[in-house]
Amino acid sequence: MKKPLAFQYNQITSMPTKTIMVLLECSGNKRAHFSPKVFGEQWTGGAMSQGRWTGVPLSFLLSITGLNAGAREIVFQGEDSGIKIKQQQYFERSLPLAKAIDPNVIIAWEHNQKPLSLKHGFPYRLIVPGWYGMASVKWLKTIRVIHHHFSGPFQTDDYVYYPYNDHNKDSFPVTTNQINSVVQQPLDRQILIPGEHKISGLAWTGEGVITAVEISVDNGDTWKSAVIQDKPQKYQWVKWSHSHIFEKKQVYTIKVRAFDSNGLSQPDQAFWNRKGYGFNEISQIKILIE
């Protein structure tokens, strides 16, 4: 930075603000579905949320401090820490400069029209739309500009896709949310009576917007278009639904796949990686009609 500065809380909150509705998803969401199994929190489909965040665009702060020639990445340090490489390490993550100056990247102090709660990162939280939640550093205390590639352990050890179980060849960082979906109703393994039932859920993607959601009630043999409730918005999930008449005494395998404006769709099989990040295989549930 050309001009390092320290800001008080009331200075930050009096700066130009931006409010953005953003989906935040844990990079380990759906980890429980990987096969072979991987270590880590065995999330199914609920490690995500969506909310309205208000703060100052990071690009505005950087315009005040200025950037030296050769600036490459912006590093964010939170107040939380953990043991990494046998020593206490603050949680630090970086963003490449091109992403950091995106006008939608903000330093938030408000969530859903209320001051940030402690669990959401009070007093400040970085919000990085379109990237998995680890990028949105909580309890933010310092921001610094570097002229090299950041190599902190929470960036180059954790939150990395490792394609192999026994070595690190071909590894690459976790960044953008994968295109994904989830079935909310009915529940997996639910028992229902014969007749018409509505299948509903959510779909989302990292960049671009969801353009279509397809559903199959016959284990993928045939597909039909689901109804998307509202006009898709960037960095937000869409709600979808589809009604079907189910016949008695049958087990149905219901599958759902989403498509986005960048030509991406959910794969038949997720990209396996040993830390269990980014599971986005075609969503599937089974129901029994009595």
The CATH number linked to 244 is: 2.60.40.650
Task: Give the residue from 140, 173, 206 where a domain finishes.
Answer: 173
Domain boundary among 110, 140, 173: 173
pLDDT digits (tens, 9 = 90+) for 234-249: 999 999 999 999 999 8
Instruction: Give, for all 290 residues of the chain, the pLDDT tens digit.
Output: 788 899 999 999 999 999 999 999 999 999 999 999 999 999 999 999 999 999 999 999 999 999 989 999 999 999 998 888 788 999 999 999 999 999 999 999 999 999 999 999 999 999 999 999 999 999 999 999 999 999 999 999 999 999 999 999 999 999 999 999 999 999 999 999 999 999 999 999 999 999 999 999 999 999 999 999 999 999 999 999 999 999 998 999 999 999 999 999 999 999 999 999 999 999 999 999 99
Q: Name the residue among 144, 149, 152, 150 with its Cα closest to residue 61.
A: 144
Could you list the residue range(s) of the whole structural domain that residue 29 is in? 9-173
pLDDT of residue 82: 85
Token readout for 137 is: 């550093």
150 and 187 fall within a common domain: no
pTM score: 0.95
Q: How many CA atoms lie within 13 A of 237 on its CB side?
A: 18
Given CA atoms 80, 120, 176, 1 in this order, what sign does their dihedral have?
negative
Whether the bond into 232 is cis, omega within 30 of 0: no
Q: Residues for the chain: how many in total?
A: 290
- Beta-carbon contacts of residue 287 (< 8 Å; ≥ 6 apart): 186, 188, 189, 190, 191, 192, 246, 251, 252, 254
Predicted pLDDT at 228: 98
CATH of the domain at 62: 3.90.420.10
* 57 and 157 together in one domain: yes
Work out how many domains the chain is built from and give that number: 2
Last residue of a domain, one of 130, 156, 173: 173
Q: What are phi and psi of 7, to 5 degrees?
A: -115, 140
Q: How many CB atoms lie within 10 A of CB 149?
A: 11
User: What pLDDT does 87 receive?
Assistant: 86
- Both tokens of 115, joined, read 């001051």
